[in-house]
């Protein structure tokens, strides 16, 4: 049984605007999210299993409003504590053939601080489709000139 191991490094930069409206108030904010991820994959013909870890830094900017949740003013909290870091282990299972793969992923987030009033989902499930297209003009590994 021939298993192929792969190592991937991925980085993301995301700039977003977030708005939360409830009866207790309104909160508008921009945030920047920077992530660095590394993973290892065991792959067979139709099946793949990946494990990885991601470091994420989330920084809130221009926080406006006073949304109150469980007696805490989240607007004040984010203005006083704009930066948050996380370690996020992830497990992904993929099924597919050649250029099409269906993926299921589970991720858990651990906040790297003592901010007890920072409310976030500490787990995430996701599903997706991965499509791979060969590069134009690329040669197969079986080509004698390669």
Q: Which pLDDT belongs to residue 4? A: 41
pTM: 0.65
Closest CA relative to residue 127, chosen from 146, 102, 145, 107 = 102
Does residue 120 belong to any structural domain of this protein? yes
Burial of 118 (0-12, 13-18, 19+ CB in 10 A): middle
Does residue 41 belong to any structural domain of this protein? yes
Q: Which pLDDT belongs to residue 140? A: 60
Number of domains in the chain: 1
> Alpha helices of 1-146 — where are they, by DSSP H?
74-80
Q: Which pLDDT belongs to residue 20? A: 53
Q: Which pLDDT belongs to residue 69? A: 79
Does residue 136 belong to any structural domain of this protein? no
Q: Which pLDDT belongs to residue 103? A: 95
Does residue 117 belong to any structural domain of this protein? yes
Does residue 145 belong to any structural domain of this protein? no
The residues of the chain scoring below 70 in pLDDT are: 1-24, 117, 135-146
Does residue 113 belong to any structural domain of this protein? yes
Q: Which pLDDT belongs to residue 136? A: 63
Q: Which pLDDT belongs to residue 3? A: 38
Does residue 146 belong to any structural domain of this protein? no
Q: Which residues contact 116 (CB under 8 A, 6 or more apart)?
A: none
């Amino acid at each position: 049984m021939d298993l192929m191991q792969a190592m991937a490094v991925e980085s993301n930069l995301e700039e977003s605007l977030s708005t939360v409206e409830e009866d207790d108030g309104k909160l508008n904010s921009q945030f920047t999210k920077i992530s660095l991820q590394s993973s290892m994959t065991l792959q067979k013909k139709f099946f793949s299993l990946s494990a990885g870890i991601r470091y994420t830094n989330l920084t809130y900017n221009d926080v406006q409003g006073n949304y109150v949740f469980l007696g805490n003013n989240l607007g004040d909290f984010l203005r006083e504590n704009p930066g948050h870091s996380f370690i996020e282990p992830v497990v992904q299972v993929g099924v597919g053939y050649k250029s099409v793969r269906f993926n299921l992923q589970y991720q858990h987030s651990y906040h790297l601080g003592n901010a007890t009033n920072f409310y976030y989902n500490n787990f995430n499930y996701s599903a997706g489709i991965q499509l791979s297209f060969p590069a134009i003009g690329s040669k197969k590994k079986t080509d004698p000139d390669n």
